[in-house]
């Protein structure tokens, strides 16, 4: 059995050897996903779905607390409807999947399989909105969308993925802009508080913003390998879509007006972010808030008198304040340890005959493997304390990784030298010209991640062209 245990651990490629393969190994070996028989489409297995459901549950409560309501829109969008807003259809055209047949009959009009739902919401609002008294309308839906990606990877980029997409309309531009900021802050809070992932909040450049948006705001996270992951976006549309789809309301002045619109979303990509921010060569390390199992109870020498009974008793008590699993299978303890480490369970509780004699157990943290001897009478305080300590340490390690992989540069030569030697964020000033943004991509291999809200003045000029620059940009390589 010990040999099998060793083989289980070796089944994961090491991060140092091949980070991309390590990531894929975890997705499959930790039983998060399975590849389907349709290329680019994945099956969320129960454990992967459970993690997503915990993220969903937390976010859904946050959305409802700020007045949002859940709705469900159709999965198919008529081509004529999609084309009403030119930027949107052009932006998504290469990724749209089309339905052309209904049963054995050819459809008169192609139907797009939902890549995003702005058009459907606008079409709906054009019929149901009448007066300013009905505003704001603040909707959200949990669904999947289809985008025909050329290169796919579980959670990060698949042809179908699960997400939430919020869509709101407001009486004034100021209200809509406040909504985009509120939802971006919500995403940042979830990432930092629940997922233990530090993020940079900022605005996308015009090149990187959502098709059809006036402004796109983002949270950018750094993975262990120094690459960036766009982890959530919030978009301000102004009244552009409202005008394209003839969405109007009678205002306080008894005149017709177009409402101001937002949309915002995060997806199962956050599961990928958890893996690549916290995982190690033995598998997942899950932040407690989104761990389907927070504590696994493993009896040691379960055949000895009283051990199995006490393990079951402890699991029952722990279930009142944590998500717990009793592993009373006949596998060897070492095999169990490796299995639950692979799945990222934050805490392991071991109890054996000697522990019974001393009225204690052993708690083992997934991240540090630290063993803590705890009286059985103190578990109710010790377990939550250890879970919170693990969460804080995960966050601090991720923050340290980001800080150590972030550099400043004032010249193009500095940028290229840093990009060649490292993977991470490079901060520079920027003049705002698209040509300089493209030059950064062509010469240094970096894309703009965002113009952070927390600006720094690194120099007076753009490193690409030498012209005056007032905005600082984070550049990096992104997933």
Taking alpha carbons only, the member of 312, 314, 296 closest to residue 366 is 296
Q: How far are the Cα atoms of 49, 310, 446, 459 from residue 352, in angstroms, in the given order?
A: 33, 9, 54, 63
Candidates 3.40.50.1000, 3.40.50.720, 3.40.50.800, 3.40.50.1970; correct CATH number of 295-387? Answer: 3.40.50.800
Task: Tally Cβ neighbours within 10 Å of residue 373.
Answer: 11
Q: How many CA atoms lie within 13 A of 425 on its CB side?
A: 26
pLDDT over 70 percentage in the chain:
98
CATH number of 19-278: 3.30.930.10
Distance, in Å, from the CA atom of 34 to the CA atom of 369, rounded to the nearest integer, reads 29
Sign of CA dihedral 320, 296, 57, 449: positive
**Confidence at 10, pLDDT banded by 50, 70, 90:** low
How confident is the model over 425-465, as pLDDT tens digits? 999 999 999 999 999 999 999 999 999 999 999 999 999 99
How confident is the model over 291-324, as pLDDT tens digits? 999 999 999 988 899 999 999 999 999 999 999 9
Q: What is the pLDDT of residue 2?
A: 39
CB 276 within 8 A of CB 224: yes
CB 244 within 8 A of CB 263: no
Fold topology of 406-476: Translation Initiation Factor IF3 (3.30.110)
Give ranges for CATH 3.30.110.30 in the chain.
406-476
**Confidence at 3, pLDDT banded by 50, 70, 90:** very low
Cis previous bond, 469, omega within 30: no
**Confidence at 245, pLDDT banded by 50, 70, 90:** very high
In degrees, to the nearest 5, what angle opens at C-alpha 277 toward C-alphas 274 and 281?
A: 100
Give ranges for CATH 3.40.50.800 in the chain.
295-387
- Which strands form 105-113's sheet, in the order they lie side by side? 76-78, 105-113, 97-102
Instruction: For residue 400, give both structure tokens.
Output: 């340290």
What is the dihedral angle through the alpha carbons of 301, 307, 310, 316, rounded to the nearest 10 degrees? 40
Q: At 197, give phi and psi (nearest 5°).
A: -115, 115
Q: Is the pLDDT of residue 1 over 70?
A: no
How confident is the model over 145-173, as pLDDT tens digits? 999 999 999 999 999 999 999 999 999 99
Residues sharing a CB contact under 8 Å with residue 126, sequence separation 6 or more, in sequence order: 245, 246, 247, 248
CB 274 within 8 A of CB 286: yes
Q: Is the pLDDT of residue 252 over 70?
A: yes
Residues forming a β-bridge with 145: 161
How confident is the model over 343-390, as pLDDT tens digits? 999 999 999 999 999 999 999 999 999 999 999 999 999 999 999 999
The full length of the chain comes to 479
Sign of CA dihedral 314, 320, 324, 328: positive
Give ranges for CATH 3.30.930.10 in the chain.
19-278
Residues sharing a CB contact under 8 Å with residue 359, sequence separation 6 or more, in sequence order: 375, 376, 377
How confident is the model over 195-213, as pLDDT tens digits? 999 999 999 999 999 988 9
Residues forming a β-bridge with 473: 428
Q: What is the pLDDT of residue 85?
A: 76
* Distance, CA of 17 to chain centre: 25
CB 473 within 8 A of CB 427: yes
- What are the DSSP calls for 329-366, one per residue? SSS-HHHHHHHHHHTT-SEEEEE-HHHHHHTEEEEEET
H or E segment and range at residue 230:
strand 228-238
Average pLDDT, the chain: 95
How confident is the model over 169-200, as pLDDT tens digits? 999 999 999 999 999 999 999 999 999 999 99
Taking alpha carbons only, the member of 199, 324, 372 closest to residue 270 is 199
In degrees, to the nearest 5, what angle opens at C-alpha 35 toward C-alphas 33 and 41?
A: 100
Distance, in Å, from the CA atom of 181 to the CA atom of 66, rounded to the nearest integer, reads 13
């Amino acid at each position: 059995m010990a040999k099998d245990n060793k083989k289980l651990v070796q089944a994961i490629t090491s991060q140092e050897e091949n980070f991309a393969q390590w990531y894929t190994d975890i997705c499959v070996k930790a039983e998060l996903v399975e590849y389907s028989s349709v290329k680019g489409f994945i099956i969320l297995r129960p454990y992967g779905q459970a993690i997503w459901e915990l993220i969903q549950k937390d976010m859904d409560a946050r959305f409802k607390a700020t007045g949002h309501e859940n709705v469900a829109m159709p999965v198919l969008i008529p081509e004529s409807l999609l084309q009403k807003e030119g930027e949107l259809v052009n932006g998504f055209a290469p990724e749209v999947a089309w339905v052309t047949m209904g049963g054995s009959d050819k459809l008169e009009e192609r139907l797009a399989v939902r890549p995003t739902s702005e058009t459907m919401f606008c079409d709906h609002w054009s019929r149901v909105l009448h007066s300013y008294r009905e505003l704001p309308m603040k909707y959200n839906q949990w669904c999947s969308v289809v985008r025909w990606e050329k290169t796919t990877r579980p959670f990060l980029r698949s042809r179908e993925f699960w997400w939430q997409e919020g869509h709101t309309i407001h009486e004034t531009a100021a209200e809509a802009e406040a909504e985009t900021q509120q939802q971006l802050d919500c995403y940042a809070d979830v990432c930092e508080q629940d997922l233990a992932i530090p993020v940079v909040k900022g605005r996308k450049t015009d090149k990187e913003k959502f098709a059809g948006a006036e402004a796109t705001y983002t949270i950018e996270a750094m993975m262990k390998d120094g690459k960036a992951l766009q982890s959530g976006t919030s978009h301000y549309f102004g009244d552009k879509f409202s005008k394209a789809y003839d969405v109007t309301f009678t205002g306080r002045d008894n005149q017709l007006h177009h409402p101001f619109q937002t949309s915002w979303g995060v997806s199962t990509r956050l599961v990928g972010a958890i893996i690549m921010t916290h995982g190690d060569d033995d598998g997942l390390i899950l932040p407690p808030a989104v761990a389907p199992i927070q504590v696994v109870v493993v009896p040691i020498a379960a055949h000895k008198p009283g051990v199995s009974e006490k393990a079951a008793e402890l699991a029952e008590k722990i279930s009142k304040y944590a998500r717990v699993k009793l592993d009373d299978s006949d596998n060897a303890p070492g095999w169990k340890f490796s299995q639950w480490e692979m799945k990222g369970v934050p805490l392991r509780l071991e109890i054996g005959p000697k522990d019974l004699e001393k009225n204690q157990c052993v708690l083992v943290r997934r991240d540090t493997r630290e063993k803590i001897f705890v009286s059985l009478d103190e578990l109710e305080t010790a377990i939550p304390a250890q879970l919170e300590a693990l969460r804080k340490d995960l966050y601090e390690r991720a923050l340290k990784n980001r800080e150590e992989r972030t550099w400043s540069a004032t010249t193009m030569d500095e940028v290229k030298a840093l990009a060649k030697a490292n993977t991470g964020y490079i901060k520079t000033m920027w003049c705002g010209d698209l040509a300089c943004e493209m030059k950064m991509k062509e010469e240094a291999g970096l894309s703009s991640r965002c113009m952070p809200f927390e600006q720094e003045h690194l120099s007076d000029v753009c490193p690409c062209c030498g012209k005056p620059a007032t905005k600082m940009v984070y550049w990096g390589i992104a997933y």
